[in-house]
Amino acid sequence: MAKRFKVYANKSSDNSKVTTASDLRNKLNAIASALGTLSGVTFVVSAIHLLSQDDDETDFQFRAICYVHKQNRKIKWDEVYTAINAVQAPYYESVPIKEAQGLIDWENERLADIRNRLGDHFKHLVKKPIDDVDKRINSRLSELATDRTLCGWSGILAAARLKTLTGMSREAIRESALEEINKELAA
């Protein structure tokens, strides 16, 4: 069996969606880091949602639906639970392995497709998504992979953007995508 659980971040003291989303990202990255030390454990974030009460913009919460799957018996579920509970103790729901494995396979196929379309020179830009920022980066890379095959100015611009990204660190790329997302959240 695999496990599904939700990680959440309640509105921050300054009522900022940007700060609350950042809290959720920090939790997801902490869980991914903790689970990354366990061999044979796969962690996937399937969706991130913004929830608000009765159209009240001052009462909101960000939630991420996550799946964890262990492929071997060397690791015990208690070790997995301990790693996740150190960040936030969620309610765990058992789900069929097919459900979690289907999501994991879909994500791996999508990443492989993006890498394949980008080619050898740009495929290192694609990383496994942990949060909405990583998903945004991969989505933009997918668009650029398609656009660079276009004739004319659009193709030239897409190729130039990819070339620019190769000169940037992953942190700089992430900071740029985060800035874009934060502008959307603040609007």
Q: What is the pLDDT of residue 81?
A: 93
Q: What is the pLDDT of residue 54?
A: 63
Q: Are 34 and 120 in contact (CB under 8 A)?
A: no
Domain around 24? 1-95
Q: How many domains does the chain have?
A: 2
Q: What is the pLDDT of residue 137?
A: 87
Q: What is the pLDDT of residue 57?
A: 66
One domain for residues 106 and 89: no
Helix or strand holding residue 81 (H, E): helix 77-85
Q: pTM, whole model, 2 decimals?
A: 0.80
Q: What is the pLDDT of residue 121?
A: 77
Report residues of the chain scoring pLDDT below 70: 12-13, 54-58
One domain for residues 128 and 111: yes
Q: What is the pLDDT of residue 56?
A: 61
Dihedral pair phi/psi, residue 78, rounded to 5°: -60, -35
Which of 74, 95, 116 is the C-terminal boundary of a domain? 95
